Structure 1
Amino acid sequence: MVFSASHSVFIICRDAAGIAGNIFAFGLFLSPIHTYRRIIRNRSTEEFSGLPYIYALLNCLICVWYGSPLVSSDNILIMTVNSAGAVFQLVYIALFIIYAEKSKKVRMLGLLLAVFGLCAIIVFGSLQMTDLVMRRLIVGLLSCVSLISMFASPLFIINLVIRTKSVEFMPFYLSLSTFLMSTSFFLYGIFNYDLFIYVPNGIGTILGIVQLALYFYYKDSSKEDSREPLIVPYP
């Protein structure tokens, strides 16, 4: 009876953390809107790069597959948040292609097809594994590596903040959203006993703390309005 009650509490805590992570993730999904308002207004992608959105889409699609019932039956909230993230990235990529010059259009379309092709290979290959434990292990490792590399992307921004002593390129609410989302999914992974979730999000939590600490340390040095960075992590 005690074990059953304890297990129920863990499930409630897990689901609460996952739902919170889904909510906080929207702060990250919406972060490029400032950039795209400028692109649409100027009808040009200027010097902005579309690569971060391509990579974010690949990350989301891999994590969607890991969270699907065909790979892991207890990670539905991972599938939902990354499904939403994939939709946002597709919209951003579509807008980028619309307003990019011809050479960039061709490149982005090629990269988009490459992402879909790679994901199809991952899905088809993993489905050939009849051992469900091995399937979850392989796809989990891929999603973990993808998430860690995505969470490592703010290191460039952190280095820029320290070098310039300015938080111009590291908006507070984006850093806060990163920290809250990473912490939520770190707890979700802990409660779900899933190291493929709590390890990368634990790293994301640490990086989020570093970003917030730097923000409060250097915020008085920033005189200009913040701009949204182009690289955004997803769970």
Structure 2
Amino acid sequence: MMSPDTIRNIVGIIGNVLTFGLFLSPVPTFWKIFKRKDVEDFSPIPYLATLLNCALWVFYGSPSVHPNSLLIITINGFGLVVEALYIFMFFFYGKGRLRKKILLILAAEIAFMAVAALIVLKVGHTVETRSKIVGSLCVVFGTFMYASPLSIMKLVITTKSVKYMPFYLSLAGCLNGIDWTIYGFIHFDLFVVLPNGIGALLGLAQLILYGCYYKSTPKDDDEPKGEMELPTTQPAGR
């Protein structure tokens, strides 16, 4: 019989594979944006939220905050680079007002990370204290990240169309949230369980909406089948 640690490691590996796939899953959306030279009705907010979330988890996994967390740093560092590329695409193909909005949000995120890092390193005199502070921030902003598709869910209900909320992304997001929730429960870690549990519930809600409005969605042969309006989850653990 496998030990809890072995099961947790297996669940964590599966979660990392899912997370890696989720970070790359918006590629069809941005291929469409590239071909049409237009961001259409796609929103940059989920990507901006995920960017901040990845930055926080990279900070959480740093040796000065949570030592021996290389896996957290590598997967979220990869996500940080990928999300930055997606945001650049929004900036490049977006209109003036959208560009200004992106720049303002990015400036706020950079300022927030700088202030947070300064306060944590000055106030937190032990690794445990720093882990708790940064972990709490990850929970808060991870919840905001998961909440970012709510506007898309509202759009689905209003238009009775799932064009901007594809099935496979919603399914993957739901499974990813479930996987990391299980991971967090094996050796209970609230920082993992809470945001990923919320993500799993929101992913399930999107699947339900997809089932309700799939038939009423206008068919578009040029539509990629993997568009991303669901932010990715993050691996975390101790």
TM-score by length of 2: 0.81
SS at match of 2:125: coil
Selected match of 2:4 from 5, 10, 33: 10
CA distance in 2, matches of 1:130, 1:58: 24
- Report how far residue 39 of structure 1 moved: 2.8
| Residue correspondence of structure 1 range 154-173 to structure 2 within 5 A | 154-173=149-168
- Report how far residue 141 of structure 1 moved: 1.0
- Report how far residue 181 of structure 1 moved: 1.0
CA distance in 2, matches of 1:164, 1:127: 47
Preserved contact between residue 147 and residue 233 of structure 1 (Cα < 8 Å): no
- Report how far residue 157 of structure 1 moved: 3.2
Selected match of 2:203 from 205, 208, 213: 208
Out of 182-191 and 76-85, give the one that drifted further.
Answer: 76-85
Q: Give the equivalent residue in structure 1 for 2:59.
A: 65
| Residue correspondence of structure 1 range 1-235 to structure 2 within 5 A | 9-45=3-39, 48-73=42-67, 75-101=69-95, 104-105=98-99, 107-128=101-122, 129-225=124-220, 228-235=227-234
TM-score by length of 1: 0.82
Preserved contact between residue 169 and residue 230 of structure 2 (Cα < 8 Å): no
Preserved contact between residue 53 and residue 138 of structure 2 (Cα < 8 Å): yes
Summarize deviations over 1:185-223 as a string: whole Å, max 9, x none. Answer: 111211232101111111111222222233234433334
For structure 1, the 5+ residue unaligned runs are none
Q: What's the C-alpha RMSD, in Å, of the aligned pairs?
A: 2.7
Out of 213-222 and 134-143, give the one that drifted further.
Answer: 213-222
Preserved contact between residue 12 and residue 180 of structure 2 (Cα < 8 Å): yes
CA distance in 1, matches of 2:202, 2:18: 16
In percent, how many aligned pairs have the same letter? 40
- Report how far residue 162 of structure 1 moved: 3.9
- Report how far residue 28 of structure 1 moved: 2.5
